[in-house]
Amino acid sequence: MWLRHGQAATFGAAGGPATAAGQLTALIGTYLVLVQLLLMSRISWLERAIGLDRLAVWHRWNGFAVVWLLTAHVVFTTIGWAQLQGLSIPDQLHSFVFQEADALMAIVGFALFIAVAVTSVRMARRALRRETWYFIHLYAYLAVALSFAHQLALGADFTRDRAARAWWVLLYALVGATIVWWRVLTPLLANRRHGLRVHAVQREAPGVVSIHISGRRLDELAAQPGQFFLWRFLTPSGWWQAHPFSLSAPPTPKRLRITVKSLGDYTGRLQSIKKGTRVFAEGPYGTFTEERRHQRRVLLVAGGIGITPLRALLDTFTPDDDVVMLYRVVRADDVIFADELRRFANEQHITIHVITGSEIGDDRTDLLGIPALRKGVPDIATRECFLCGPPALVDALRRRLPHLGVPHDRIHFERFEL
C-alpha cells in the first residue's frame, strides 16, 4: 500500500524521510497488532499445532516489537510534520494534542500500549498480582480501538483509497470475530453443555488439594492427560479470575481432576472450595501429551507441583514401557500422590526416585546436575524426556540434557509458573 500510494516520492519534500519512516512503522506496527491479537485468540487448531505456552512467548516478543514500531511511528511522524510545517517539536506535539481529535485518541491508545508493555517486563510482572496484570492487559483492546479510528481518519494510505480502507476494516473485523468466537462464545457454549461443578476436595499434602470436578459428557471435550484448562470457580470473590491448572488424572466422561498448591490468595482459597460450587473452564490447552512420545524409553522429571501433568501422563504408559521418574521436592513430606506413585511403581514397574532439596545448583553439584543425572539414569541419552516444574528447574534441565546426549527434539517441557 505504501508503495502503490506513491509515498516513496515524498522523500524529497521537507520532512519527507521522517514522515515516510513514520508511515512505514505505523503500517507494520498496526499489522503486527492484528497478529498479536490472533496469537492469544485461543484458536483451537492453532493451539494444538503450536501449544499455548509457545504462542504466549511469541505473543510477548511480538508485543515488544509492536511497541517499538509504534514508538518509532510517533517519533518519526512528529519530526516529519514539524519539519514540514516549520514548527518546533513541542509546538507540533501541542498541535497533535489540541488540534487533531483523532491524533489525541491515538496518543491515548499509544500510552495504553506502553502501560501494557511495561507491566509485561518480568520484573514488573513479578511485582504485580496476576489479576492486576490481567486487567491492565485488557486495556490493550481499548488501545486497538482508539488507534484504529486514528488510522482511518489520518492514515494517508486509507483516506484516499476506498479499496485499502475496506481491506483494513475487513482485517480488523475478521480478527475481532475470531476473538469473539474462540474466547467468548465457544467457552460459553461448552460450559453450558457440560455443567461443571466441584464434586469433592481431597487433601494430598500440606497446602495441596485435589479438586474433583463433575460434569456431563466430558469425553466430548477431547481432553488428554498432560493438558490444562483455564479455570474460574464461580464464587463471589473468584468468578472473575481465570487460572491455569493441569489435569492431574486422566479425564473420564463424568470427572476431571486438578491439583492445586497454595501459592497465594486465590490458590489459598481453593484449598477449602465448597462442594457444589459451579466451575467455568476454558480448554483443553497444551501439547504436553502422550502424542509427543515416539519411543518406549521415557524419563519424566517433575519439580514440586509440576508433578500434576506428569501424574496424568503415567496412566498412558503400559507395562512394556521403560519409564523412570525423578521427582524433586523441598522436603519428603511435600510429596504429592504418594499412594498413587507407589501403585505405579508396584503394578507397572515404573522407577520413581524422590529427590529432596530446593536450590538449583550449578551443572556439576546440583542433585539434578549432569553428573547426578548420568549416574542416576545411565541410559539417559536413549530416553525421551518430559519436564515440568518451576521455570528455573526446567531451564536448567533443558541446558543439561543435550550435554548428556539427549537430542533437542526428545526434550518436551512445560513450565509451571503461576
**pLDDT for 54-84, tens place per residue?**
888 898 899 999 999 999 999 998 998 898 8
Q: Are 37 and 137 in contact (CB under 8 A)?
A: no
Cα–Cα nearest to 118, from 108, 106, 127, 131:
127
Architecture of domain 290-415: 3-Layer(aba) Sandwich (3.40)
- Burial level of 292, CB count in 10 A (0-12/13-18/19+)? middle
Between helix 52-85 and helix 16-39 the angle, nearest 10°, is 160
Give the largest Cα separation in the chain, rounded: 83
Give the pLDDT confidence of 178-227 residue by residue, as tens digits.
999 999 999 999 999 999 999 999 999 999 999 999 999 999 999 999 99
Residue 136 — very low, low, confident or very high, per pLDDT cuts 50/70/90?
Answer: confident
Q: What is the DSSP string of 325-375?
A: EEEEESSGGG-SSHHHHHHHHHHS--EEEEEE------TTTSTTSHHHHHH
Q: What is the mean pLDDT of residues 381-404?
A: 93
Per-residue pLDDT at 416 = 57
pLDDT at 134 over 80: no
Who wins on pLDDT, 330 or 125?
A: 330
Per-residue pLDDT at 198 = 97
Per-residue pLDDT at 56 = 84
Amino acid at 320: D
pLDDT at 39 over 60: yes
Q: Are 370 and 398 in contact (CB under 8 A)?
A: no
Instruction: Give me the half-sphere count of Cα atoms (radius 13 Å) on the Cβ side of residue 181.
Output: 9
Q: If DSSP codes are grouped into helix, strand and coil, which group holds residue 274?
A: coil
Domain range annotation of the chain: 7-183, 195-285, 290-415
Q: Are 376 and 404 in contact (CB under 8 A)?
A: no
**What's this model's pTM, rounded to 2 decimal places?**
0.82
Q: What is the mean pLDDT of residues 282-296?
A: 90
Residue 51, phi then psi, degrees to nearest 5: 100, 135
Give the pLDDT confidence of 321-347 residue by residue, as tens digits.
999 999 999 888 899 999 999 999 999
Amino acid at 359: E
Who wins on pLDDT, 155 or 383?
A: 383
Whole-number Cα distances in Å, 366 to 82, 259, 327, 351, 359: 60, 28, 14, 21, 8
Instruction: Supply the mean pLDDT for the chain.
Output: 89
In this structure, the strands spanning 228-233 and 208-214 are unpaired
pLDDT at 12 over 70: no
Per-residue pLDDT at 415 = 67
CA dihedral angle for residue 112, residue 115, residue 121, residue 127, rounded to 10 degrees = -140
Residue whose grid cell is 524529497: 12
pLDDT at 101 over 70: no
pLDDT at 14 over 80: no
Cβ density class 236-267: b for 16+ within 10 Å, e for less: eebeebbbbbbbbbbbeeeebbbbbbbeeebb
Cα–Cα distance, 364 to 371 (Å, whole number): 6
Who wins on pLDDT, 93 or 173?
A: 173
Between helix 101-120 and helix 89-99 the angle, nearest 10°, is 110
Residue 247 carries which DSSP code?
A: B
Q: Are 79 and 18 in contact (CB under 8 A)?
A: yes
Residue whose grid cell is 509427543: 292
pLDDT at 418 over 50: no
Give the pLDDT confidence of 194-204 residue by residue, as tens digits.
999 999 999 99
Give the pLDDT confidence of 349-360 residue by residue, as tens digits.
899 999 998 777
pLDDT at 122 over 90: no
Does the domain spanning 195-285 belong to CATH 2.40.30.10?
yes
Per-residue pLDDT at 362 = 80
Percent of the chain with pLDDT strictly greater than 90: 53
Give the pLDDT confidence of 296-321 residue by residue, as tens digits.
999 999 999 999 999 999 999 998 99
Per-residue pLDDT at 139 = 84
1-10, 123-132, 239-248, 299-308 — most confident range = 299-308
Per-residue pLDDT at 1 = 80
